[in-house]
Amino acid sequence: MTTAAAPRSGAPATVLTEALTCRAVHVTFGETEALRGVDLHVAPGEWLGLIGPNGAGKSTLLRAIAGLVPHDGSVTLNRDRRPAGTDVALVPQIPILPEGMTVAEYALLGRSPHLGWLAVESRRDRRIVASVLERLDLQRFADRPVTHLSGGETQRVTLARALAQQAPILLLDEPTSALDLGHRDAVLDLIDTLRRDDGISIIAAMHDLGTAARFADRLALIDQGRIVADGPPRRVLAAGRLSTVYATPLNVHTVDGEIVVLPAPRSRQENGP
């Protein structure tokens, strides 16, 4: 375990960098084999993008890493240590928002894994939450009930709770699906800053392939519970492979140096991808 460099962005500096390794992770739900032997390694400070069609197993993999679904195989941090509650923070695709709780109280839940058996938050815990709300431009919502927010605000509040946890591994399940373009890039830029300043590792299921390519160091393409490609975005996003996995003809373009994945023009689809 190594301590990350002092942050430049004013975040509390208690995050320790960790590598994460999954070996032969297997998850079944009744008859459904959601994950069928996933091997994965994420280095400290790395951003891994998880891509793949609906039902491929992206959310299940994130939930298995967070210890929220029973699995075979192993998930370990540096030196084969099993993750504790303080190690991994998950921003779920569909958060459960408690009635009658304010934004600040909800973000404070992120501190729960750090609290002792009396479960009383300290002044330091409240300071961490205030700093996270500020970073996410959410101070003005601090006293608002969490159930009285727009979809995009809710997504940022869910992220605030995860950041308040100060875990070295941040798991994001389609974190920007409810955000407009401006907020999407602002939130992803912030996560990228945290990664660079604090050395946290990011594993993010990402819907938009171009955005995934822009932010992730590496992409893992999941199909039917298996990783079918893992590497630099430009190598993983091959038109033929994507067309097969997403079962529709797709083309990969470069626009202003960025990767853009688009459906093949309809007139050419009759001849196949």
Q: Which residues bind ligand ADP (CB under 6 A)?
A: 29, 32, 34, 52, 54-60
Whole-angstrom distance, CA of residue 42 vs CA of residue 25? 15
φ, ψ for residue 193 (rounded to 5)?
A: -65, -45
Residue (55 or 67) nearer to ligand ADP, CB: 55
Q: Which is nearer to ligand ADP, 55 or 152 (CB)?
A: 55
| Binding partner of 214, given Mg ion, ligand ADP, none, CB within 5-8 angstroms per partner class | none
Q: Give 32 or 74: the residue with its C-beta nearer to ligand ADP.
A: 32
Angle between helices 151-164 and 123-135 in degrees, nearest 10: 140
The least distance separating ligand ADP from the CB of residue 48, rounded to whole angstroms, comes to 15
Provide the residue count of the chain.
Answer: 273
CA distances from 86 to 164, 175, 261 (A): 11, 20, 37
The mark string for 53-92 relative to Mg ion (x by CB under 5 A, - otherwise) is -----xx---------------------------------
Looking at beta carbons only, is 55 or 210 nearer to ligand ADP? 55
Instruction: State the binding partner of 262 from Mg ion, ligand ADP, none, CB within 5 to 8 A by kind.
Output: none
Residue 34 contacts which entry, Mg ion, ligand ADP, none (Cβ below 5-8 A, type-dependent): ligand ADP
d(CA 175, CA 218): 17
Task: From the list ligand ADP, Mg ion, none, pick the one residue 269 interacts with, judged by a Cβ distance below 5 to 8 Å according to partner type.
Answer: none
Residue 249: name its binding partner from Mg ion, ligand ADP, none (Cβ under 5 to 8 Å by kind): none
Residues with Cβ within 8 Å of residue 239, at least 6 apart in sequence: 250, 251, 252, 273
Of 51 and 77, CB closest to Mg ion: 51
User: Is residue 165 at the binding interface for Mg ion, with CB under 5 A as the rule?
Assistant: no
> What crossing angle do the helices spanning 151-164 and 181-198 adopt, rounded to 10°?
10
Q: Is 123 exposed, middle or buried (0-12, 13-18, 19+ CB in 10 A)?
A: exposed
**Of 59 and 155, which CB lies nearer to Mg ion in the complex structure?**
59
CB atoms within 10 A of CB 124: 12
Q: Which residues pair with 231 in a beta bridge?
A: 219
Which residue's CB atom is positioned nearest to Mg ion?
59
Least Å distance between CB 225 and Mg ion? 13
Q: Footprint of Mg ion on this chain (CB under 5 A)? A: 58-59
